[in-house]
Amino acid sequence: MYILQDSLFTLQELLEMESNDRFSIFFKELDLRPYAAMLKSKSPQGAQGHSREAILRALLIAPLEGYFTFTALHRRLDSDISFRYRCGFSLEDKAPSISTLSRTFRQLTDQGLLDQLFNDLVQRCWDEGIIDGTTIAIDSTAIDAYEKKRPKSRCQQKDEASWGAKRDSFGNLLTWFGYKAHLAVDTASELPVAIEVTPAHITDGEIGPSLVEKAAQSVSFTYVTGDAGYDQKRNYEVVKAHGAQAIIPLNLRNEKEPPSGFSSIGTPRCSMGYDMTYWGTDGSHLKFRCPHATGHVECPHGTTWCSPSNYGMVKKVDVDQDVRRFSQPHRGTRHWNETYKQRSSVERVNSRMKDHLTSDDLHVRKLKKVTTYIILNAIVLLASSLAAKRTIAQNAA
């Protein structure tokens, strides 16, 4: 069982708690004073001189409470004095206006403060052992735009929504107008460690390198796994540069035939044309043995065709000669397959952010604001996991 499976259930329990208990647990792990202090003085004050920290708390609790719009959040703050108090407003304070909430959100976006909070929480989860970091999974998910749909010919701006297409797990082609949220997720804890948001037409393979670089700023990892959409040499190279191994299926659609003497997955073939038997590693080399000697085929020439030894011919392949083709562990082995299966964790995180939080219902426009909105949802996951760990530890004490 992965490290934080219990905490994921605790997140569900957090959603089912009474608001007062939920707020206390959630905010206990968030010291927002340093971030609130960095907000420009004009952004949160408004006519009533509202607390910067209180507005920030309200914006962060909104995804957990299921509020998609500033209007809905304002109405709750205005009608529920207990909710307003729990967010940090004094009993005498009126609810911040819709324009105040919107203005604060915009300046959080302009100053990148939620990016900083997200990175700080990832670092805390890493330092406290919540994020394991052994394997990172990367993938993207479709985000429908709040903007009005436009024809492809008019989708020219880099910071605006565009048309995208992607196949689901059943092979069906899905199209949408909007954005892509690209996530790098720690597969053990199922927590995001890096996020990028792009217009929908940007391919996964293009964003892979920058997503890996972002993840490497916060955590150390041994493997990075992604689907065949990331099968580009630069993705393997950036993972290799961080001392890790990319676990990505080869996309063989445009490949006419494998290199001479090798199978499509990089297994060398003996002089009779049989795939040799993988026999472990030797430093940066993959070791392969004669398939007849290992009992995998019945060669009419036995081992004598290639080697005078009963051990059979041995071939070693340097993985560095083709970082895309060759992998440690070798492609097709149990270790490789089990590591690749962990890729599904990023799909579960995307589903959690859409089904339990609010990342699937945008009410902001333009790329920068959409990015901030997605990061808000990711912050909820990280803060909830920290709260879950603390609660479990206190209950066990």
pTM: 0.89
From 143, 259, 249, 145, select the one nearest 205 (Cα to Cα). 249
Q: How far apart are the first and last CA of the chain?
A: 23
Query: Cα separation of 118 and 184, whole Å?
Result: 13
292's tokens: 């007849």
Which residues fall within 8 angstroms of residue 63, CB to CB, at 6 or more apart? 357, 358, 359, 376, 377, 380
Domains in the chain (CATH in brackets) are 5-111+388-396 (no CATH), 117-250+342-368 (3.30.420), 257-325 (no CATH)
pLDDT at 223: 98
Q: What is the largest CA-CA distance in the chain?
A: 92
181 touches 207 (CB < 8 A): no
pLDDT at 9: 39
- Whose tokens are 């580009």? That residue is 232
**Residues comprising the chain, all counted:** 397
From 394, 354, 356, select the one nearest 28 (Cα to Cα). 394
From 2, 1, 3, 6, select the one nearest 391 (Cα to Cα). 6
From 69, 30, 112, select the one nearest 371 (Cα to Cα). 112
215's tokens: 């993840």
Give 288's strand partners: 278, 315
User: How many of the other CB atoms lie within 10 Å of CB of 155?
Assistant: 16
The amino acid at 205: G
* Burial zone of 390 (CB within 10 Å; 0-12 exposed, 13-18 middle, 19+ buried): middle
Low-confidence ranges of the chain (pLDDT < 50): 1-9, 43-48
Phi, psi (deg, nearest 5) at residue 224: -125, 120
Which residues fall within 8 angstroms of residue 211, CB to CB, at 6 or more apart? 138, 182, 183, 184, 194, 196
pLDDT at 183: 98
pLDDT at 304: 80
Which residues fall within 8 angstroms of residue 256, CB to CB, at 6 or more apart? none
pLDDT at 3: 37
pLDDT at 201: 93
